[in-house]
Structure formats: structure tokens, C-alpha cells
Amino acid sequence: MSDHHDHGHHGHDVYVTHYSAKDYMIGFALSAILTIIPFWLVMGNVLAPDTTRWVILAFAGVQLIVQMMYFLHLNSKAEGGWNMMALILTIVILVIVMAGSIWVMHHMNTNMMPGMGPTSTHDMT
């Protein structure tokens, strides 16, 4: 038989990562730290409320990345990068839907109930 009819290997490299208990413990420790710090910030009134809100949002974003890497095993090499591309598309669609929904609700509230806002001078009694 000639070599060009060999069906055993088609040039597809399979990237398989074996995760150990050490990797899971690192993920667990990072997740715990990324949860404890925002909890301390809120319970200790360390920062101003608006600043605390943004810091918690940042910690949540980092927590999401840690969870995806250490527990869901999503990286750019898994399944040829298709998992990561699907995740990016999902995030883009989610951001579009959420931003659009908030925009519509804000404008409906502003335009449909003009006398009910906090700056209203109408006496509703």
C-alpha cells in the first residue's frame, strides 16, 4: 500500500489536558479569595458605595474567568479554539440583549411616566 492512503492519521492534532487535584485546589483558592475580598469590602464599609459597586463588578469578572479556566477548562487550545469562539459569541449576544433591554426599559420609563420621576414637581395626592 502507498503512504498517501493511510487512514490512521489525518493531520488532526488532539489537544488533551489532564487536570490534577492541584489545579482544582488553585481554582478553589482563587475563587475563595475573589469572594472573601468583596465580602470584606461590603461588610467593613471600606470604600464608598459607588466605588464598592465597581470593585465588586471587577472581582466578579475575574471570578468568572477563574471559574471558566479552572473548572470549565475553557481555553484557546481546547477543541481547536471552538469552545472559546462559542463563548465569545455568547458573551457578545448577551451584552447586546442586556444593553438593549436596559436601554428600552430606561426610555420607556422616561417617556411613559414623565410625572412619576424623582424630579417631578407634581403633587400626586
Same domain, 37 and 58: yes
- To the nearest 10°, the Cα dihedral for 83, 84, 86, 90? 130
Range of the domain at 86: 80-111
- pLDDT band per the 50, 70, 90 thresholds, residue 81: confident
pLDDT above 70 coverage of the chain, percent:
75
Pair 17, 78: CB distance under 8 Å: yes
How many structural domains are present in the chain? Answer: 2
Q: What is the structure's pLDDT at 46?
A: 93
Does a structural domain hold residue 118? no
- Report d(CA 55, CA 41) in Å as an integer: 9
More confident residue, 54 or 109: 54
Predicted structure pTM score: 0.58
Q: Per-residue pLDDT for 96 more than 60?
A: yes
Residues 69 and 84 in one domain: no
